[in-house]
Structure 1
Amino acid sequence: MTKLPEAKLYIDGKLRRAAGDRTFEVVGPWTGEITTLAADASAEDMNEAIAAARRAFDTTDWASNRDLRLQCVTRLRDLLYANRERLVDIARLEVGAAMGAIFSVQVDGALSGLDALIELFPTVTWEEDRGTAEAYGVRSQRLVVHEPVGVAAAITPWNVPLYINVAKVISGLLAGCTVILKPAPDTPSAAAILGELAHEAGFPPGVFNVVTGADPAMLGEMLTLDPRVDLITFTGSTAVGKRIMEKGASTLKRLFLELGGKSANIILDDAPNFAQTVASSIVCFHAGQGCAIATRLLVPRSRYAEAIAALEQAYQSFSDHWGDPEAPSQVMGPVISKKQMDRVLGYIELGQKEGARLLAGGHARPDKGGGFFVEPTCFVDVSNDMRIAQEEIFGPVLVVIPFEDDDDAIRIANQSEYGLAGHVASGDKARALRIARAVRTGSVGVNGAMAVGPDLPFGGFKSSGVGREWGREGIEEYLESKVIAVPA
């Protein structure tokens, strides 16, 4: 594997290194070796980025010039397509993505998502005539105007960084905000390349800024506390999301947060091809590092033994089909870091102590390479009150829980602090839809249908977050509503 170019800052229209030329090392998940260096921004660097974004919003026509915004974003989109191979290298070397994941959400899904946002841009309503009415003795003609919030800070995670960076940055820019992107320290290149290509696309200075740093908290804390920043959009853990909400309260930040998940896949007793449907539920895509991945499998107790047999066979069949960085059909590689590997292995140990039965996997796999490999793992005989059933592991770990009837399945699915996504499989569409409506999550796929897409709003209930990303709704999160009235 080759190394990536140094990831630089993009502040006020300039690509540059951090103050004092400070850098930090980025370790590749496949090899455990250094894959690149990234600019290690100081508080001074971040302060310059905030000032640039504030100035660009307050003193230029970016907020009002929709044609300019669309032109800039379209040029950036074209440059991203032209640099697809670089994006593939970043996803492989820095994110640890397998080639099958690159063809979907890691790279191609991000590019098609950008296309979708550009296509949705004309559907955004900027002004609404609310007609004439009399109130308090005054007859007025009323207009509702939707205008950008201001300076938006995007704090993004390491699991699918390009996809999430695109969702936040492009939506915010199209809405007319100026944007500061602060990526996770594990994946700075997926953000730095956006700054580089925005520079090449001729973005006006300050409207988009990229600030990378080794400290996972310091730069984000600055954005959260600074009164010049009007909006924070964050994707990551629920614990960090709560901290951002708490810290942002002092300046009444607009917040929208896409947080954790422990999604349930409910397979009913009348599901067509029951064994095959159960077998396809193994957690392997991107080593389970996805907030919307269904990591709780709910199966009817009346067919529990059949389900376990299908899973056992599925895991045996999959055992040799992961961990190859060159195989175009594989979707599973390493987890992002040694820290994450230790976390996942800790939960596997916990599950055994809690009394769950380890059906498959459960071990690190150093034979796959020098990186951070955990084999696909499945626990059965799990009760929903176990920590492995309630807490987000963010690794290739599936827990299997039996249920008695439909109402019991709904109860178990909803007995979670999270509510991000879910699935239901049944031969009876009406039955499946009843359960889908009863499950408290932001999206539910029925019988394999895809409820997640860049033209659809994505987000969760409860501790899975606040607000929505993607779709027209994702652009509208960056808008404020203003009422203007004139005498009728």
Structure 2
Amino acid sequence: MTAPARLLVDGRLTEASDGASYAVLNPATGREIGQAPDATADDVDAAIAAARRAFDETDWSTDVALRVRCLRQLHAALLEERESFEALTTAEVGMPGFMMVAAGFEVPVEGLRWVTDLAEGYAWETDLGVARPMGIPSRRTVRREPVGVVAAITPWNVPTQINLAKVGPALAAGCTVVLKPAPDTPWVAAELGRLAAERTDLPPGVLNVVTPRSDEVAARLTTDPRVDMVSFTGSTATGRAIMAAAAPTLKRVFLELGGKSAAIVLDDADLAAAAAATAFTACLHAGQGCAITTRLVVPRARYDEAVEVAAATMASIGAKDPTDPGAICGPVISQVQRDRVEAYLRLAEEEGGTFATGGHVIEQDGFWVEPTVVAGLDNTSRLAQEEIFGPVLVVIAHDGDDDAVRIANASAYGLSGSVESGSLERARAVAARIRTGTVAVNGGVWFSPDAPFGGYKQSGLGREMGVAGFEEYLETKTIAQPA
């Protein structure tokens, strides 16, 4: 049994200060599975104050050995609680169990271990040697120091992955953190806070977890001058608002935002295999992934074949209870999200598209959408340009490599993508021209704790994971002394 969701503020697990809470729903059934504290403005203020004190008045920011010990304790606790953590994720998020070996649990927890190892062996100081700027002999040293107090604001789609991708590097760098999860998935974040409080030596205030339902309350994290950095993953529209809110205090802002990634299939590729793989990917977790390839860009001469293969694949996958061992596509997160996806399906018809499979919501308990292949639209359609965040794949025709690159880049986003070709050299040449932060070539997998992830254009600012993701949470200080 998972413990009830609680706030973590200044080392204490607690209810909201006014006792208010809200229901946590299972998206597969629509039924309540628990309650989360509805954190107040006072709770958020207390969490920020605690994080500020912990950074300014304790040794956390300077004691690397303490940070390494605490993060190894948290890693061990997560492994020991794996079964219950995964069950909670499936219940609260609707994520199929097979995804726990990747973004659901295994990769993010491995990422926590990886960044802890990185911090332990990191070169916190670099000697630049002696030079004579303006004729004065000087020895220069470059130090890397933590940014300070970090507000980590995370979405509902893969919460453990994104919570740990922010909390782990920030803590390893010596920052203190206020974690604010999405109100659709507060419980897994609260459980992370509980393990930190009960199973580690983290000093009070180093990690705080608050779960307000109100956007207005949460927005205090972006404007408070005691917060030095906002690390946000979510929609591009919200990212713009956060950037604007943070501007008056000139906070550092990390943004990992939306995507509308293209899977390019060249004319010498195994089209059937590529179309089936892209359709499978578009079904993962009901399409609720920012880096999922949701535009299948195929040679015009083989367009009908690609549509047929993709439709057959998605129809065979279907939408299943996420507790089913064979589930790939579960529910979408909420009624709001189901309504959003349904609006895009109706828009597809208005724009002149047709459904090769799917095209409707599923009328049953919970929040379900049929895996859908949309044909007959070009890259200028809204279905091809806007992030839907549901199991919807748009198939688009191209007229050669140059046209395929043009289509892939004709997007406000630049988060991910893929290229398939019978020639690795040709595939790499096309991949080099695509303006995205990650590209999979001929089935290669980039998702790993040591690989930086992030986007071009309106897909965000900065990188998460890898050394680059760790260094997002560091400042650079140059010190000069007489030589």
TM class by smaller structure: over 0.9
Larger mean CA deviation between 397-406 and 116-125 belongs to 116-125
1:274 paired residue among 267, 271, 274: 271
Q: Does 1:193 align with 2:179?
A: no
Q: How does 1:434-449 map to 2 (within 5 A)?
A: 434-449=429-444
Q: 1:396 maps to which residue?
A: 391
Q: Does 1:481 align with 2:481?
A: no
1:353 paired residue among 346, 350, 364: 350
- Secondary structure of the residue that 2:116 maps to in structure 1? helix
1:296-355 deviations in Å (ceiling 9; x for gaps):
000011221221222232233223xx3123322322110000000000000010011001
1:262 paired residue among 260, 265, 275: 260
Q: 1:285 maps to which residue?
A: 284
State the shift of 1:98 in Å.
1.3
The AA in structure 2 aligned to 1:377 is: T
1:455 paired residue among 441, 450, 454: 450
Q: Unaligned stretches of 5+ in structure 1?
A: none
Q: How does 1:360-439 map to 2 (within 5 A)?
A: 360-367=357-364, 370-439=365-434
Q: 1:423 to 1:226 in 2, by over 3 A?
A: same
CA distance in 1, matches of 2:217, 2:167: 17
Q: 1:229 maps to which residue?
A: 227
The AA in structure 1 aligned to 2:42 is: E
- Secondary structure of the residue that 1:73 maps to in structure 2? helix
CA distance in 2, matches of 1:14, 1:316: 49
Q: 1:108 maps to which residue?
A: 106
1:25 paired residue among 23, 26, 40: 23
CA contact (8 A) 2:322 2:328 kept: no
CA contact (8 A) 1:120 1:455 kept: no
State the shift of 1:139 in Å.
1.8
CA distance in 2, matches of 1:4, 1:332: 25
CA distance in 2, matches of 1:431, 1:227: 50
Larger mean CA deviation between 86-95 and 75-84 belongs to 86-95
Q: 2:166 maps to which residue?
A: 168
State the shift of 1:102 in Å.
2.6
CA contact (8 A) 1:124 1:476 kept: no
CA distance in 2, matches of 1:202, 1:27: 32
- Secondary structure of the residue that 1:472 maps to in structure 2? helix
How does the TM-score come out when normalised to structure 1? 0.96
State the shift of 1:194 in Å.
1.2
CA distance in 1, matches of 2:92, 2:297: 34
1:114-167 deviations in Å (ceiling 9; x for gaps):
222223334533111111111123221100000001001100000000110001
Q: How does 1:295-374 map to 2 (within 5 A)?
A: 295-319=294-318, 322-367=319-364, 370-374=365-369
CA distance in 1, matches of 2:475, 2:219: 24
CA distance in 1, matches of 2:172, 2:244: 28
CA distance in 1, matches of 2:366, 2:2: 17
- Secondary structure of the residue that 1:37 maps to in structure 2? strand
Q: 2:37 maps to which residue?
A: 39
1:266-310 deviations in Å (ceiling 9; x for gaps):
011111x32122112111000000000000000011221221222
The AA in structure 2 aligned to 1:189 is: W
State the shift of 1:487 in Å.
0.8
CA distance in 2, matches of 1:448, 1:242: 33
- Secondary structure of the residue that 1:78 maps to in structure 2? helix
State the shift of 1:357 in Å.
1.6
Q: Unaligned stretches of 5+ in structure 2?
A: none
CA distance in 2, matches of 1:362, 1:152: 42
CA contact (8 A) 2:44 2:218 kept: no
1:244 paired residue among 237, 242, 245: 242
CA distance in 2, matches of 1:325, 1:417: 32
How does the TM-score come out when normalised to structure 2? 0.97
Q: How does 1:149-164 map to 2 (within 5 A)?
A: 149-164=147-162
Q: 1:44 to 1:312 in 2, by over 3 A?
A: closer
1:176-216 deviations in Å (ceiling 9; x for gaps):
0001100000001111011111111121011110001111x
Q: How does 1:200-219 map to 2 (within 5 A)?
A: 200=198, 201-215=200-214, 217-219=215-217
State the shift of 1:9 in Å.
0.5
- Secondary structure of the residue that 1:106 maps to in structure 2? coil
CA distance in 1, matches of 2:323, 2:55: 44
The AA in structure 1 aligned to 2:324 is: A
CA distance in 2, matches of 1:315, 1:166: 31
The AA in structure 2 aligned to 1:175 is: A
CA distance in 1, matches of 2:283, 2:417: 16
The AA in structure 2 aligned to 1:28 is: N
- After superposition, the CA RMSD in angstroms is 1.2
CA contact (8 A) 2:315 2:358 kept: no
The AA in structure 2 aligned to 1:285 is: L
Q: Does 1:14 align with 2:12?
A: yes
CA distance in 2, matches of 1:474, 1:124: 14
State the shift of 1:4 in Å.
5.5
CA distance in 1, matches of 2:312, 2:154: 37
CA contact (8 A) 1:121 1:472 kept: no
State the shift of 1:87 in Å.
0.9
The AA in structure 2 aligned to 1:486 is: Q
CA distance in 2, matches of 1:417, 1:268: 23
State the shift of 1:112 in Å.
2.1
State the shift of 1:434 in Å.
0.7
State the shift of 1:468 in Å.
0.5
CA distance in 1, matches of 2:108, 2:217: 25
**4+ residue stretches of structure 1 with deviation over 3 A?**
none
1:341-400 deviations in Å (ceiling 9; x for gaps):
000000010011001121110111124xx1000010010122111001000000000000
